Amino acid sequence: MNKLISALNDNLRVIYRKAVDADAALNALQAKGKGKFKTIFEAESGFKTNSKRFGPYVEELAEEVSCLSTIDEEQFGEALPPLVKKIELILSTLQQFKKTLN
């Protein structure tokens, strides 16, 4: 379980760095009058957060990963799939966003 949590934390570090860059790009776009949207992810995405920036979503993921070390194995098994799905979603969204900027 600890190795898996460590791997998730490694992924979070990568996501954080990409999110900082993406949020800076979003700030620049919004300053130019572009990027008019309400949230990055829809309610069905699994995220509780609603934000125009990636940072709050990363915070939500970090909190969920942190909670994994305090639960038993059965709860861990239940909590892991939705967490991994959100990690995959944010990574793919960040990658798509980066492609649109180039």
* Tens of pLDDT, residues 76-95: 999 999 999 999 999 999 99
**What values do phi and psi take at 9, rounded to 5?**
-65, -40
The set of residues, in sequence order, having a beta carbon less than 8 Å from that of 35 and lying 6+ positions away, is 26, 29, 52
| pLDDT value, residue 62 | 97
| pLDDT value, residue 43 | 87
**Segment holding 63, helix H or strand E:** helix 55-68
Kindly state the tokens that stand for 23. Answer: 């949020």
Q: What is the identity of the amino acid at 70?
A: T
- Mean pLDDT, range 3-21, rounded to an integer: 96
E-only strand ranges, the chain: none
| pLDDT value, residue 45 | 93
CA pair distance 24, 11, nearest whole angstrom:
20
pLDDT tens digits for 28-80?
A: 998 888 877 889 999 899 999 999 999 999 999 999 999 998 999 999 999 99
Global pTM? 0.92
Distance of CA 56 to the CA centre of its chain: 8
